[in-house]
Amino acid sequence: MTTEDYEESSPETSISKYVFKSKLEQFYCDDEVIYTRKPEGKYCKCLTYNNINEFGEFFRVFTKEGERYKILFTRKR
């Protein structure tokens, strides 16, 4: 996933919001499933990230097409 696949708002504050442009099916954080879309459910369109809290190093995303992407979120901004 590149920066063309999502938009980031307020990266200079303690809270960042990522708005995804793809239809996402699943989120993984450090090899643990943290979100799975239900068949009848709506697609997740954004992620809010608190820069102060400890957040996993790797975040994997699965799109509707089943393609797998890996995003690296680091604790340093």
Q: What is the pTM of this model?
A: 0.55
Q: What angle do CA 25, 58, 18 make, to 5 degrees?
A: 60
- Average confidence (pLDDT) per 10 residues, the chain, 77 residues: 73 77 77 82 79 62 57 48
Q: What is the pLDDT of residue 50?
A: 72
In 3D space, the residue among 25, 69, 4, 19 whose CA is nearest the CA of residue 49 turns out to be 19
For the beta carbon of residue 32, count every other beta carbon within 10 angstroms. 8
38: helix, strand or coil: coil
